[in-house]
Amino acid sequence: MIQKFLRIISIAGHELYEIMHDHGVLTFILFLPLAYPLVYGAIYHTEVMTDVPTAVVDDSKSSIARDFAHRLDATQGARVVQLCTDMNQAEELMRQMKVYAIVHIPESFERDIKRERQTRIGLYINMASSLYYKGVALATNMTVLDMNKDISINYLGAGTKQQNKVARQPISYYYTPLYNTQSGFAAFIMPPVLMLILQQTLLLGIGMSMGRARETYRRKMHTLYQLYQRPVEIIIGKSIPYFALYLIMAVYMFTFITWFFGLPSLGNYLTYLVVIVPYLLACIFMGVVLSCLVYRREDCIMIFVSLSVPMLFVSGVIWPASHEPAFWRYVSYCLPSTFGMHAYVRIQSMGAGFADVYPEFRALWIQTAVYFFIAYLLYRWRLSLIKKKLITLFEGDYENERLLI
């Protein structure tokens, strides 16, 4: 037992030595997880798209229309950058990407309102990004509703202030965005991406160190034959340095990055640690399995980098998992990141307790077991190949010895 333990420790020590002497691996497992969240945060930290540049084409030239333009300008979503004389002028601005939306107020606007007829306003939005649409459509809708109520008062108003208030809005309503209270983009995308960064950098690091081992020791996957004889010990020994380092990285994401970019942080430390352990283990063992595909150090970049974006998409964080085809959903179940991201978002952004993330927790342990088993089989197979080679070598020697005798 103690022998076993000592062997594992010395394998871990040897792995650590290898890692420390490979700048490539160090970049991936030390520099990248520390720095990439900062790059990502720098891009998204402004959180919301406000004041989408909008042109207003006012054909009615009336005071109500001007009032409308002012109210629209005052909203968070839109900013009126130009009052145009006709549609052509506004379209030209749209083509030059100086405005992303056009509000067209018809010539009959004021007349219709005064004559107690419905009137129509046209809103044209450039669909280059969904956030232009979201910002302008919401702002314009709110402005229209607000104006509608002011106009309705003339018909419905019964006199007193209170009665007018009730007539404006017989049943009032409140909207509360939960967990990400300003509907920020960083607060939405950063938490899952942090987990994806952990997984991807682990895959890259383990892959590259395997590539290095393969290059140095040719077709073997391990070095010191005396030490590297039992698959279970090799896998555990290999994982220890990564696990220890990534536990620190996981805490760095949970604390520093969250604090630095002001991301939602309702998370319970203990719940997080309980869930991050199987997540890291599943990632590491998956890394050990996939690293068998890596024959040269640089191969790992080729294989793993381009998979990051598809992995983010199939997880169901961006596009609801319930609405993606079953095939891709099952593919996503093979990836630790799918469960890791959902669990992290729930714990950290939504303050979920352990019971709430139990399904993810269980799935991560199952993945850990499965990937460990596959890694075990792969290593056993490799070792038996090497043993065969050595035996043939020795048998040859025996024959020579016999000849000598």
Q: What is the dihedral of CA 277, 280, 286, 291, to 10 degrees?
A: -140
Contacting residue, 87, 167, 374, 378, with other proteins by CB under 8 A: 167
Specify the residue, 8 or 72, whose C-beta has the smaller distance to other proteins: 72
| Interface positions, 327-346, toward other proteins (CB under 8 A) | 327-328, 342, 345-346
In this structure, what are the phi and psi dihedrals at residue 82, rounded to the nearest 5 degrees? Answer: -155, 135
In this structure, what are the phi and psi dihedrals at residue 27, rounded to the nearest 5 degrees? Answer: -60, -45
- Is residue 56 within the footprint of other proteins (CB under 8 A)? no
- Is residue 119 within the footprint of other proteins (CB under 8 A)? yes
Specify the residue, 33 or 191, whose C-beta has the smaller distance to other proteins: 191
Contacting residue, 1, 309, 403, 404, with other proteins by CB under 8 A: 309
Distant-in-sequence, close-in-space partners of 47: CB < 8 Å, separation ≥ 6: 182, 184, 185, 186, 187
- Least distance in Å: CB of 45 to other proteins? 8
Helix or strand (DSSP H, E) at 314: helix 308-314
Closest CA to 317 of 341, 344, 352: 341
AA identity, residue 6? L
Specify the residue, 14 or 346, whose C-beta has the smaller distance to other proteins: 346
* b/e 122-131 (16+ beta carbons within 10 angstroms → b): ebbbbeeeee
- Is residue 11 within the footprint of other proteins (CB under 8 A)? no
AA identity, residue 285? F
- Is residue 10 within the footprint of other proteins (CB under 8 A)? no
Contacting residue, 16, 30, 144, 374, with other proteins by CB under 8 A: 144
- Is residue 57 within the footprint of other proteins (CB under 8 A)? no
Contacting residue, 18, 59, 73, 356, with other proteins by CB under 8 A: 356
CB 180 within 8 A of CB 187: yes
64's tokens: 């109500």
Specify the residue, 128 or 244, whose C-beta has the smaller distance to other proteins: 128
How far is it, in rounded angstroms, from Cα 362 to Cα 114?
A: 65
- Is residue 34 within the footprint of other proteins (CB under 8 A)? no
Specify the residue, 238 or 297, whose C-beta has the smaller distance to other proteins: 297
Contacting residue, 9, 74, 248, 307, with other proteins by CB under 8 A: 307
CB 205 within 8 A of CB 28: yes
Specify the residue, 234 or 290, whose C-beta has the smaller distance to other proteins: 290
In this structure, what are the phi and psi dihedrals at residue 84, rounded to the nearest 5 degrees? Answer: -100, 155
| Interface positions, 366-395, toward other proteins (CB under 8 A) | none
> DSSP assignment, residue 323?
G
- Is residue 122 within the footprint of other proteins (CB under 8 A)? yes
| Interface positions, 168-207, toward other proteins (CB under 8 A) | 169-181, 183, 185, 187-189, 191
Contacting residue, 124, 254, 272, 376, with other proteins by CB under 8 A: 124
- Is residue 151 within the footprint of other proteins (CB under 8 A)? yes
Contacting residue, 85, 88, 163, 392, with other proteins by CB under 8 A: 163
* b/e 175-197 (16+ beta carbons within 10 angstroms → b): eeeeebeeebbbbbbbbbbbbbb
CB 49 within 8 A of CB 132: yes
- Is residue 147 within the footprint of other proteins (CB under 8 A)? yes
Binding residues with other proteins: total (CB under 8 A): 112
How far is it, in rounded angstroms, from Cα 297 to Cα 131?
A: 41
Specify the residue, 209 or 239, whose C-beta has the smaller distance to other proteins: 209
Specify the residue, 236 or 262, whose C-beta has the smaller distance to other proteins: 262
Place of tokens 């965005």: 177
Specify the residue, 245 or 311, whose C-beta has the smaller distance to other proteins: 311
| Interface positions, 248-287, toward other proteins (CB under 8 A) | 264
